[in-house]
Chains A and B, each alone.
Chain A
């Protein structure tokens, strides 16, 4: 792992179009500003890990358990189509 020391207000560049700047440090909380192209997705690590974990948990299923869920009175099955997409 590359380790760099930075002062408040200083930044690092990752490639040519990502800039990560240290904005403030307060009692162990570091505020970071990130500039990146919009196609670069930025997440808190623990959030991404939570989604990964939830996906992996869902792998372990019993098909039979799927058979009787949502059975009553729902026939509007429009298969997830949404009306509010731009």
Chain B
């Protein structure tokens, strides 16, 4: 696989085409950005980094929500699945954005990022009819 070098907010990385994720509507707050990748850094695991490949100042820390919130539950409706090219179940991955800036570390369970690994397509969805919020404190 041919990789390209990208300068990101958390450093310079070689990223192969298969690891590029397209968010065709961007992310809320970053609607103009389409190309992202998820970077795993051993020193921050299990927190990973959703980095923009188009704006080196944009990177969001993300985490598998089930690590911190075992009972977390989401439903992906047809519109969402269509948006990410109808993934097979085993190719779906879900992350939630974590806020490492505020005094209390919180996770956004209301708007998970859903990625189709096979097709490299992603979307940040806003859950409906749940009690989840954008700021669930992490108890550590």
List chain A positions with a Cβ less than 8 A from chain B: 38-39, 41, 43, 47-48, 50-63, 65-67, 69-70, 72, 74, 76-86
Contact = CB atoms under 8 A, between A and B. Distances in A.
Contact of A62 (B64, B65, B100, B110): B100
Interface string B99-140: 111100100101100000000000010100000001100101
B46 interface: yes
Given A85-B76, A86-B76, A55 B93 contact: no
Given A55-B28, A58-B98, A62-B100, A80 B68 contact: no
Question: For the complex, would chain A's binding face be called helix, strand, loop or mixed by DSSP majority?
Answer: loop
B78 interface: yes
Contact of B126 (A43, A70, A78): A43
Interface string B43-64: 1111100000000011111011
A39 B79 contact: yes
Given A66-B47, A69-B47, A74-B46, A79 B59 contact: no
Contacts, number: 128
Interface of B: 9-10, 25, 27-30, 43-47, 57-61, 63-68, 73-76, 78-79, 81-83, 87, 89-90, 92-95, 97-102, 105, 108, 110-111, 124, 126, 134-135, 138, 140
Given A52-B28, A67-B44, A70-B46, A61 B89 contact: no
Contacts of B74: 82, 84
Given A52-B28, A69-B105, A58 B46 contact: no
A55 B60 CA distance: 7
A74 B101 contact: no
Contact of B97 (A48, A58, A60): A58
A84 to B, nearest CB: 7
